[in-house]
Structure 1
């Protein structure tokens, strides 16, 4: 026979499961749909890259990785720049992130809440650091992903001109300046 305590406990579990489902659906709804077509990544992998890049370099008072086009940069890098082993390492890692998210939380990586996503990324970062310390020649997908996000962001126009102080090199050209205006000539060692 069901007593009041068991009934309330079951109702609490049902409501809790519903709230968790709502939180997951809300997290998935905050991920904008891809506005581009991936060529080297599957659409699921591209969505993972989109979310991870934005978690690594979020929008603040400067544009985030998504606004800077980092996911598209990574897709192009895998298609045109990376060798087959590098590209496969990253693709396998992205698939692993989805599989780990499903195993730990029952849903795809992009559908998890932000704290759950950050917890998974933190575990990959610790794992990558351990691998790098034990076997420096062994590549880890998360280090490769972080590198591509960083390079993609800081070589983008928003990353180079808004997030960083833009100083065009070699600067302005002033030809035929009298030595009296410059002072002494100089050299470096």
Structure 2
């Protein structure tokens, strides 16, 4: 006698089969670094490398990381609209070099490497950048780090979740005696 299959059990079984099919696609999408945005000044490979590097510079912790804050898109927009051509080319060439180093050493694109390997390559690039700075020479990594920091802390998540945001520094109370306020305020 064949047991009767209920609709609910059949749907659960089909759902399980569908999820088994979807898991490799999702994992493959994560390792290839499918972009959710269209770069203006970068190639797809450069944009994936940029996104992975930005996320290692400002990783997600209890606050959003660089990708969630839109930092890669910010940097791409700055490259397209604001950077001087030689400066933009230096950063693009640095991203290409970073990806080439990852492929040569680990056999995979930078964006697909584990965080520890990405960090090691970025530390090397930072050391190169610091050595170049001692000789007053520009370096792509220093620009990347600066743009990542600026992009993050001027984004809404960076300004409101990583920093304390106070849109107005207190109530306005005119004509208050100085003895009620105490010391005055100073800004740097």
CA contact (8 A) 2:74 2:151 kept: yes
How far, CA to CA, are the matches of 1:105 and 1:121 in structure 2?
Answer: 14
CA contact (8 A) 1:28 1:110 kept: no
Give me the TM-score of the superposition, normalised by structure 2.
0.75
Deviations 1:129-177 (A, max 9, x none): 11112x12x1000000000000000000110111011122554433x43
How far, CA to CA, are the matches of 2:43 and 2:106 in structure 1?
Answer: 22
How far, CA to CA, are the matches of 1:111 and 1:186 in structure 2?
Answer: 53
Q: How many residues align?
A: 160
Partner secondary structure for residue 93 of structure 1: helix
1:114 positional shift:
1.9
Match for residue 150 of structure 1?
149
How far, CA to CA, are the matches of 2:77 and 2:92 in structure 1?
Answer: 13
How far, CA to CA, are the matches of 1:52 and 1:103 in structure 2?
Answer: 17
Residue 177 (str. 1) matches residue 175 (str. 2): yes
CA contact (8 A) 1:125 1:142 kept: yes
Q: Are residues 187 and 88 of structure 1, via their aligned partners in 2, closer, same or farther at CA, if it must alter by over 3 Å?
A: closer
Matches within 5 A, 1:27-176: 29-30=30-31, 32-133=33-134, 135-136=135-136, 138-169=137-168, 171-174=170-173, 176=174
1:87 positional shift:
0.7
1:126 positional shift:
1.1
CA contact (8 A) 1:69 1:156 kept: yes
1:48 positional shift:
0.6
**RMSD between aligned residues:** 2.4
How far, CA to CA, are the matches of 1:158 and 1:145 in structure 2?
Answer: 19
- 5+ unaligned residues in a row in structure 2: which ranges? 1-26
The ranges of structure 1 where at least 4 consecutive aligned residues each deviate by more than 6 angstroms after the TM superposition are none
How far, CA to CA, are the matches of 2:181 and 2:155 in structure 1?
Answer: 38
Give me the TM-score of the superposition, normalised by structure 1.
0.75
1:119 positional shift:
1.1
CA contact (8 A) 1:53 1:70 kept: yes
